[in-house]
Amino acid sequence: MTEQTQVIPQEGDPAPNFDLPATGGGRVSLAGLSGKPFVLYFYPKADTTGCTKEAQDFEAALAALGKTAPTVIGLSRDPVAAIEKFAKKAGLTFPLATDLEGEVVAAYGSWVEKSMYGRTYMGIDRSTFLVGADGRIARVWRKVKVPGHAAEVLKAAAALSGRPPGS
């Protein structure tokens, strides 16, 4: 990943472009989602406690929303094999994507300096972006706390679509 001045996208900005390998041998891209609202969430590491809980919460919220559910994509810098294993183990039906080079993570402002036990390092900020059908960022959540987050995001997505949840 190259070092440069980072422009952090805000609500109302066009969503940064992406085209990435995803689970199931597929790809996810901004162009492929054109005209549809979607949720792109960044998580630090596949198959860790917090990331598993977050993914399972998104899965449960998607089921509750039924036809109003937007596309949800989880994104990390894990290799394809790791996200495939994670998706299968967690029983996920939505795609997980990989950004090994970290360019998309950086474009969304989710590659940040972190600190743990007095040590600083670079890592993924747990963050979520709700992108409208117009390709613009409708909502941004940063420094996400997992409990209740997926339900809040998908409620905002349902409101964006103009349909009540579950309809």
Q: Give the whole-angstrom CA distance, residue 2 versus residue 101.
A: 9
pLDDT at 155: 86
- For residue 144, the 8-state DSSP code is -
Looking at CATH, the fold of the domain delimited by 19-158 is given as Glutaredoxin (3.40.30)
pLDDT at 2: 45
Catalytic sites, residue numbers: 51
**Quick check: helix, strand or coil at residue 70?**
coil
- pLDDT tens string 101-150: 999 999 999 988 888 888 898 889 999 999 999 999 999 999 999 999 99
For the chain, which residues score pLDDT lower than 50?
Answer: 1-4, 167
Alpha helices in the chain (DSSP H): 49-65, 80-90, 103-107, 149-161
Domain boundaries, the chain: 19-158
